[in-house]
Amino acid sequence: MSTAAEALSWPIAQVAAHLRDSTFSCEELTLAALERAQKQQPILYAFIEITAADALAQARECDREAALGRWRGPLHGILLADKDCFELEGRSMTVGSRVMDPQPGGRTATALLRLKAAGTVDLGPLNMNEMVAGPTGQNPHFGDCRNSVDPSRISGGSSSGSGTAVGAGLVFGSLGSDTGGSIRLPASMNGLFGLKPTYGRVSRSDCFPRAISLDCVGPLARSAHDCALLLEAVAGWDPQDPSSLAAPVPEYSRRLERAGAGIRIAVIATFVDYDAQVQEAFTRLVAAASARYGAAREVAFDGLGACNAMGDIISKVEAATLHGQWMRERPYRYSQAVYSRTEPGLHVPAVHYVEATTARASVLQEFLQGTMGKADVLLCPTVPVPVPTRAEADMEGSGKVFGVVARLTALTRPFSYLGLPVLTMPTGRDGNGMPMGVQLIGRPFGEARLLSVAQALATEIGWSA
């Protein structure tokens, strides 16, 4: 008979089936996860706090409901943990920082409320780059979050704990937030599937922002199917979020087999230099995509650099607007890396910010009609280099922060500016055994198609976590 500990590496649907037939209880599953999380925490620093008592109480409630025949759906009893930028009533949200004084939350983020309604169990808030700012997982306040495959290497960020906790099998999935790659980077570096949805597809109510014009909330998980289940639970209009879009929410998990039928694939030609190992893995993935969907043509995206720059302007200005008073009153509470990346936003000319925001709609239209005019899904690597060591990507080193950020986000930030849905999936491993990833870029509200293609390509290349 399978044990709860063995089940921690299974897909969500398989775990759900065993919970329903009482192979093990949700409490047993939670105890196994807590034991693993507590053992791994001094090594990986994935959590801000492991809330064991709360998790067990939630698990027992799931078991009580199950005994009465009350199943909330495919996520009933499934263990999650989420980036500590989501407010939860009664819990102090840190946002990975010491800037704010601890204060129990008075509200709960809509995304967390929806997960709770789906029957999930929360193991606690996850570590992250301070103030949702950084692509590495480095955090001088709560300890650097480490990669689940090799703790000497970075986890990716800023949803660093999300990538590490899921990659290490501590939880089955997680919600992160993405401003310039903060879901996709940790997903890629930990061998996961990570989805930045269409801007406005998932509510950001009571989710601490980096840049309100760019931020998206989305799932990280070990398969496209698991991502689909999580997205189903949290997507949809929310009156508490003015940027939330009132569009129907498909049953993503039921559309995985057919949503990718008949699509056209293209490869984005970029000016970015790819490491040889990244290029080799990407070429194999493109070959698999071409075999399944027809030859992938190459398309130009001349505006990649401009979208990157305009996204950076928006991010800096909107972050500085939020942090301006704190930076003046308590600058000593910021790390050097976060302060130095945020403070310049106070000095960007207003005309540059207005230009970046007002150009967005026309740039998007040009992209959809030009670069994406004859394609349904575009491909490009997620990160152009192999996962660096924590020493190589130390953002606290003098003068290093801007170079590290630019190198790691060169291929992710442009699509945040465009507000398009982007899913990263694994393409293979480099010579150090570290995962590499590819981005699948879709049209607005094209998440179902991206999830379908990712599931099919994972099978084609034989990816196994």
Residues forming the active site: 83, 158, 182
Residue 335's nearest CA partner among 394, 404, 392 is 394
| Whole-number Cα distances in Å, 158 to 50, 176, 178, 243, 351 | 19, 8, 8, 22, 29
Residue pointed to by tokens 């207003």: 350
DSSP 144-208: --B-SS-TTBB--SSSHHHHHHHHTTSSSEEEEEESSSTTHHHHHHTT-EEEE--TTSB--TTB-
CA 148 – CA 244 distance, rounded (Å):
33
CA 401 – CA 404 distance, rounded (Å):
5
Q: Residues with Cβ < 8 Å from 327, sequence gap 6 or more?
A: 320, 334, 339, 342, 343, 346
Q: Is 33 left (phi over 0), alpha (psi -120 to 50) or beta?
A: alpha
CA 287 – CA 153 distance, rounded (Å):
29
What one-character DSSP code corresponds to residue 131?
G
Structure tokens at 84: 């500590």
Compute φ and ψ for 59, nearest 5 degrees.
Answer: -65, -40
CA 212 – CA 189 distance, rounded (Å):
25
Go through 232-256 and write b for each residue having 16 or more CB atoms within 10 A of its CB, e for each that does not. Answer: bbbbbebeebeebbeeebbebbebb
| Whole-number Cα distances in Å, 312 to 47, 206, 255, 405 | 28, 23, 35, 11
Residue 405's nearest CA partner among 332, 346, 319 is 319
Does residue 45 contact residue 146 with C-beta atoms inside 8 Å? yes
Q: Residues with Cβ < 8 Å from 65, sequence gap 6 or more?
A: 71, 72, 76, 119
Residue pointed to by tokens 């994406």: 372
Run of H or E residues at 378? strand 377-381
